[in-house]
Structure 1
């Protein structure tokens, strides 16, 4: 808003004023030396004023200011969460709160959903990729404990919600009032739950008074079963269930008894998207010093980030575009050059339409180098 009001701008204004009054305006003159300090202070003031205006605007405010302003409208930033792993013991079961470590990650034993779980001490996604089947080592000796084995990831950890994601949820609420059980309100209900990256709301999916929500994880993929159960219980739990058949597939919606936040008579279903596997293949020349494995890993990570952006920030009708994948490959540090005509998604040069009820999942990256 005040970008043009720089130090140079005010120095030019001072110089013009001096010339108007016929005083010496050369560099080092008494007049210009006296004006310089004032010009610097005014320019800094204008910069601070510009920052203050940015903090007041929805599109540009960040950090704590964004958190506070969104909270005033009932939209709260999602905190970082730990990851949870299933665990099995042979011999004595340790006490709750006992500490363990796997690789370089530390966990504590908790009881959740009538089962024993290991909760990571570090918040975020850093502990989401530990392979199951590994030995878990107690920090302090547990008498009678013969073995402790890590199970599968039960609930993935999530990073603190970014400014862009929080701003997007806030703007959606402001542009589409979430009230009276409308579509926007179901979306808000789903996306305010921990572990949810985005929700696609499909009204009347199984007939009158039915609502289906397709839930994506914070990484843009398939959410953990426990996340779906949490959303289902929060909005309207399934007790006996309301049976519906859609396109030959039997679905069980909630009873519609109003035992959650939704109104009486509304049958709700929280469901995971169907995974659409996508294989990427292309021919390329690698830069000196890079192996094919290194290039594959770099391209894989870039494509996974692109898929997450499509799901969390893009349109509900998801389309994986060949041109976008090509741009990621061309910008990869390990790729010297690649052949655009060789780039294929699932063996085809066409875009892949994923749809509203599915999520793109990277199956493999094949490089002919």
Structure 2
């Protein structure tokens, strides 16, 4: 259902037509001048109603509204995943690196990483586990991309990543979430059937699709091939 034809002029004409026949309805008359502002407001209400309908329908919803629609069918949007890796500090012997220290790439749009453990520089070097501050593929940076330490630089002469950061995944986009919800509705799951295994696999962030092979190695076995 759409209300795109419910324009101000159409609504105003309907209001004028429904007015008493013995009153002046011409432009500038009291009846016309009182009806025109109301028609404009009613047009806005129809536009909002159209928007509400679009937000509530699976095929036209978007963003947080689509998240809520799909949640009603038991399908949750896959969250973004943070990239993980390691950062290596160089500096003065005995310098303490606190957990939650932030480092970053350089440039106008730096990517930030958070050190997840504490340590002390020995022999001039210390490597610690770290993860991207924010989820998403932006955290998947190559070797040597990390160049800056945020905050206290005392005792630190250099920082870098000697291995690439990997594993970052963006939040599931609208179209993939919508398709997964449709897939759930069109392929009903029962306890342990093919559709159930496929659904379980596709609920994992970073998995785009899955192929299920029942009884692949005899009775009671199932093989699931994952596609990113």
Q: Shorter chain as normaliser: what TM range?
A: 0.7 to 0.9
| Cα distance, 1:119 vs structure 2 | 1.0
Counterpart of 2:112 in structure 1 is 106
Cα distance in structure 2, aligned partners of 1:166 and 1:135: 33
The verdict on how the C-alpha distance between 1:138 and 1:42 changes in structure 2, with shifts beyond 3 A counting, is closer
Return the structure number with greater relative CO, CA threshold 8 A, min gap 6: 2
| Cα distance, 1:151 vs structure 2 | 0.7
> Deviation digits for residues 56-86 of structure 1, max 9, x if unmatched?
3222233333222322332112222322234
The counterpart of 1:97, out of the listed 97, 100, 104, is 100
Query: 3-state SS of the aligned residue for 1:214?
Result: strand
Unaligned runs of 5+ in 2: 118-126
Cα distance in structure 2, aligned partners of 1:188 and 1:161: 15
TM-score by length of 1: 0.48
> Deviation digits for residues 260-289 of structure 1, max 9, x if unmatched?
xxxxxxxxxxxxxxxxxxxxxxxxxxxxxx
The verdict on how the C-alpha distance between 1:144 and 1:30 changes in structure 2, with shifts beyond 3 A counting, is closer
Aligned length: 209
Query: 3-state SS of the aligned residue for 1:154?
Result: coil
Cα distance in structure 2, aligned partners of 1:43 and 1:134: 54
1:214 aligns with 2:219: no
1:168 aligns with 2:150: no
Cα distance in structure 2, aligned partners of 1:48 and 1:135: 47
| Cα distance, 1:215 vs structure 2 | 2.2
Cα distance in structure 2, aligned partners of 1:160 and 1:154: 15
| Cα distance, 1:132 vs structure 2 | 0.7
> Deviation digits for residues 195-215 of structure 1, max 9, x if unmatched?
33x112132484443322222
Counterpart of 2:202 in structure 1 is 191
Cα distance in structure 1, aligned partners of 2:135 and 2:216: 38
The verdict on how the C-alpha distance between 1:135 and 1:23 changes in structure 2, with shifts beyond 3 A counting, is closer
CA contact (8 A) 2:197 2:212 kept: no
CA contact (8 A) 1:100 1:136 kept: yes
Cα distance in structure 2, aligned partners of 1:214 and 1:180: 20
Instruction: Please say which structure displays the higher CA radius of gyration.
Output: 2
CA contact (8 A) 2:194 2:214 kept: no
Alpha-carbon RMSD across the aligned residues, in angstroms, is 3.2
Cα distance in structure 1, aligned partners of 2:180 and 2:55: 18
Counterpart of 1:201 in structure 2 is 211
Unaligned runs of 5+ in 1: 217-369
Counterpart of 1:358 in structure 2 is none
| Cα distance, 1:166 vs structure 2 | 1.8
> Deviation digits for residues 195-246 of structure 1, max 9, x if unmatched?
33x1121324844433222220xxxxxxxxxxxxxxxxxxxxxxxxxxxxxx
Counterpart of 1:74 in structure 2 is 74
CA contact (8 A) 2:84 2:166 kept: yes
The verdict on how the C-alpha distance between 1:105 and 1:25 changes in structure 2, with shifts beyond 3 A counting, is same
Cα distance in structure 2, aligned partners of 1:43 and 1:148: 59
- Determine which structure has the larger strand proportion and give its number: 1
1:150 aligns with 2:166: no
